[in-house]
Amino acid sequence: MSWLRIKELVRKEFIQVFRDRRNRPILVVSPLIQLILFGYVVTTDVRDIRMGVVDHSKTPESRRLLEAFDANPTFRILYRLEDPRALDRLLLRRRVDLGIWIPPGFQATLRKGKSAAVQIIADGSMSNMAGVRIAYASSVVEAYNMRVLQKRYRRKIDFGEIDLRVRTWYNPNLDSQFYYVPGIVAFLVMLLTLLLTSMAVVREKEAGTMEQLIVTPLKPSEMILGKTIPFILIAQAQMILVILFALAWFRIPMKGSAVLLLGATGLFLLSTLGIGLFISTVSRTQQQAVMTNFFFIIPFFMLSGFVFPIANMPFVVRVLTHLDPLRHFLVIIRGVFLKGTGIAVLWPQFLEMAILGGLVFIGAVSRFRKRLD
Amino acid sequence: MNSEAVAVRDLVKRFGTFTAVDHITFSVRSGEIFGFLGPNGAGKSTTIRMLCGIIIPTSGSGHVLGFDLFTESERIKQSIGYMSQKFSLYLDLTPKENIRFYLGIYRVPPDSWDARMEWVFKATRLESVRDRPTGELPPGWRQRLALGCALLHRPRLLFLDEPTSGVDPLTRRHFWAFIRELTREGVTVFVTTHYMDEAQHCDRIVMINAGQIVAMGQPAEIVRKTLPDRPRADLGDAFVALMRKGRP
């Protein structure tokens, strides 16, 4: 192994990466733009619920119920309608998210001391969102019921009830950005290193420069180090840049150790660089390399628990997720960011990632050597 | 010191069921310009690639600069220079950066880099464009750079795979003058070509067709032997006659 050769390979790779004008935005601007975009787009928070209401009761009771919705910052009553069928049209055109219909006998039924029916119609085409909206609407109705009961009995009802005192730790406001932004950081690092590594090798094959390298005494191990060291450095620099940006822009708390995070990134890169090298051995052109990259990126994304909770997956798929380096890295990055957890808790993830990365890298390297020989 | 720079015996290369090179035996003397001629697909490039250690022969035996083809390809690679028919340096680097890269890859001692670089720029007449992107240079200039890079580590044997394809006549003449000069310094040159007029520059040539050797010797000798009844025939005529003979 010759350090002179590796040094010159790394130097050459850096010149090429930064000389290519198309690369400059990919390296700095695009991760930040993606972080901002993802940070705002990938959110499951339900903040603004647009309502259409049909009040056929038109009584102080029905008005109080609607006022309860109006007073809540999450709900906005946009349409007051006479015909319940008009609600259907509004839901279809996605002008409203939720419809509420108060039937004519509302006041009379309540005054008789019976339960009065009120209909809530939700757009179920987005099932998750609909569920959250219905739950919010129910809690508004619940609070209204409480007041009706209190008024009726003219005292506070406090007999033997369970009083829940809920506290969410690590993310007190249940802000979904807190959850997603660290994940995006991990995803971006994966995307970049996979693409850059596979491209750096395939580009040499495509341009014919590989042939010239093969007639030199350059060893495959030197070639591999020369092709991976630049991307380890670039990925770590990018990690620091993106984290600083996430802290400053999204005000995500960074509770844990940054050094631990960079260490975890190192282990994570073992897998992504290994896969990048593997892709370069099965692709002849840069186009093929890009397509093959997606073959890996999409399953890694789906199985990582980034958006879809692993706990909800079938058993077999749950076992498969352990082969996804992004899954382990996400646990670490979220733990370090939000909870400030250390190696004492995260060691299983570190271990799995190290084993996975080690195997992938060794496999890719041996395949790479065979191809060069 | 071995007086044969290359010596191969019954060399065979098969790709699947296709035999690209079929039991060829020849040798190259130290310090000569050795031409390897044949039509496209005859096995020229496959042979040169076996001799350079890029691909491993299927069977046979051979030595390059005294090193075994099968077991000492690393040592062969350190002592040879190779220029492929397709330009294979980095178009996005400057000539200077390309040269520096290959100085490093061949582990030329860094304290002699400046001297080597000056020598290459002088020999290839590329001093004026040393910091321009290589991609902006005309083909003939790139070819000179490729030749320069192949000589950085002072190889004793230089392989040239169709070095002058796509190069204008004047540049070709310069090129051959330069090659002649190299042999005076003791470098052996192994060149493939299908320009018959260029084959005249070679001390000895081998003609191959469909993976087999059909003629070997000095150019004039080959013409005489192939077409004894046509005293005014040239190497081109001999080539055509030989290639026809191979076919039913």
HSE-up of A199 (CA within 13 Å, CB side)? Answer: 17
The domain that holds B181 is classified in CATH as 3.40.50.300
* pLDDT > 80? residue A293: yes
A338 and A211 housed in the same domain: yes
Q: In what order do the strands lie in the sheet with B4-15?
A: B18-29, B4-15, B59-64, B67-68
For residue A44, what pLDDT is reported?
Answer: 66
A137 and A211 housed in the same domain: no
Quick one: pLDDT band at residue A139, thresholds 50, 70, 90? confident
Q: Give residue ranges of B with CB < 8 Å to any A CB.
A: 52-54, 56, 74, 77-78, 80, 82, 84, 86-93, 97, 100-107, 110, 149
Are B160 and B200 in contact, with CB atoms under 8 Å apart? no
Task: Please report whether residue A161 resides in a domain.
Answer: no
Instruction: Please say whether the dihedral angle defined by the alpha carbons of residues A59, A65, A71 and A73, taken in this order, is positive or negative.
Output: negative
User: Chains A, B: CB contacts under 8 A, how many?
Assistant: 71
Burial A263-299 (b: 16+ CB within 10 A, else e): ebbbbbbbbbbbbbbbbbbebeebebbeebbeebbee
Could you list the residue range(s) of the whole structural domain that residue A54 is in? 49-153
The domain that holds A83 is classified in CATH as 3.40.1710.10
Complex ipTM: 0.88
Instruction: For residue A172, give the amino acid letter.
Output: P
A64 and A200 housed in the same domain: no
Least confident of A14-18, A122-126, B174-178: A122-126
Quick one: pLDDT band at residue B248, thresholds 50, 70, 90? very low
For residue A372, what pLDDT is reported?
Answer: 58
Q: How far apart are CA A51 and CA A74, in angstroms?
A: 10
Average pLDDT, chain B: 90
For residue A289, what pLDDT is reported?
Answer: 93
- Taking the CA of residue A34 and the nearest CA in chain B, the distance in Å comes to 28
Q: How many CB atoms lie within 10 A of CB A301?
A: 17
Q: How far apart are CA B131 and CA B201, in angstroms?
A: 34
Task: Please report whether residue A209 resides in a domain.
Answer: yes
* Mean pLDDT to the nearest integer, A317-336: 92
Could you list the residue range(s) of the whole structural domain that residue B70 is in? 4-88+155-245
A105 and A57 housed in the same domain: yes
* pLDDT > 60? residue A373: no
A240 and A136 housed in the same domain: no
Burial A57-82 (b: 16+ CB within 10 A, else e): bebebbeebbeebeeeeebebeeebe
A35 and A59 housed in the same domain: no
A119 and A240 housed in the same domain: no
The position carrying tokens 């008024």 is A151
For residue A31, what pLDDT is reported?
Answer: 82
Q: How far apart are CA A168 and CA A135, in angstroms?
A: 18
What's the domain count of chain A? 2
Considering only residues B49 and A178, tell me which one the structure prediction assigns the higher pLDDT: B49
Question: Tell me: the pLDDT tens digits for B11-23?
Answer: 999 998 999 999 9
Considering only residues A170 and B135, tell me which one the structure prediction assigns the higher pLDDT: B135
* pLDDT > 70? residue A174: no
Question: Tell me: the pLDDT tens digits for A208-218?
Answer: 899 899 999 99
- Taking the CA of residue A1 and the nearest CA in chain B, the distance in Å comes to 11
A358 and A270 housed in the same domain: yes
Q: How many CB atoms lie within 10 A of CB A365?
A: 18
A333 and A250 housed in the same domain: yes
Q: Do B90 and A16 touch (CB under 8 A)?
A: yes
Task: Please report whether residue A162 resides in a domain.
Answer: no
For residue A153, what pLDDT is reported?
Answer: 74
Structure tokens at B118: 């000056």
What is the torsion angle, in degrees rounded to the nearest 10, for the CA atoms of residue A35, residue A37, residue A39 and residue A45? -170
What's the domain count of chain B? 1
User: A183, A152, A222: which is closest to A12 by C-alpha?
Assistant: A222
Least confident of A14-23, A228-237, B69-78: A14-23
For residue B158, what pLDDT is reported?
Answer: 96
A133 and A55 housed in the same domain: yes
Q: Residues 194 to 223 of A: which have CB under 8 A from any B CB? A: 207-209, 211-219
Task: Please report whether residue B31 resides in a domain.
Answer: yes
For residue B1, what pLDDT is reported?
Answer: 46
Average pLDDT, chain A: 87
Quick one: pLDDT band at residue A292, thresholds 50, 70, 90? very high
Q: How far apart are CA A49 and CA B200, in angstroms?
A: 87
Structure tokens at A68: 């309860």
Least confident of A58-67, A206-215, A244-253: A244-253
Question: Tell me: the pLDDT tens digits for B98-130?
Answer: 999 999 999 999 999 999 999 999 988 899 999
Task: Choose, out of B46, B51, B82, B90, the residue to mutate when testing the contact with A (most A CBs < 10 Å).
Answer: B90
For residue B247, what pLDDT is reported?
Answer: 54
Going by DSSP bridges, is the β-strand pair A119-122/A98-102 parallel, antiparallel, or unpaired? Answer: antiparallel
Q: Do A207 and B101 touch (CB under 8 A)?
A: no
Structure tokens at B169: 């006549």
A183 and A327 housed in the same domain: yes
Are B90 and B102 in contact, with CB atoms under 8 Å apart? no
Q: Which residue of B has its CA nearest to A207?
A: B88
Which range, A254-263, B101-110, B211-220, has the best average confidence (pLDDT)?
A: B101-110
Q: Do B82 and A2 touch (CB under 8 A)?
A: no
Question: Tell me: the pLDDT tens digits for A19-60?
Answer: 887 777 777 788 888 888 877 877 667 778 899 999 998 998
DSSP character for A115? Answer: P
Task: Choose, out of A3, A12, A14, A15, the residue to mutate when testing the contact with B (most B CBs < 10 Å).
Answer: A12
- Taking the CA of residue B93 and the nearest CA in chain A, the distance in Å comes to 7
Tell me the residue ranges of DSSP E strands in chain A.
49-55, 75-81, 98-102, 119-122
HSE-up of A188 (CA within 13 Å, CB side)? Answer: 32
Task: Please report whether residue A282 resides in a domain.
Answer: yes
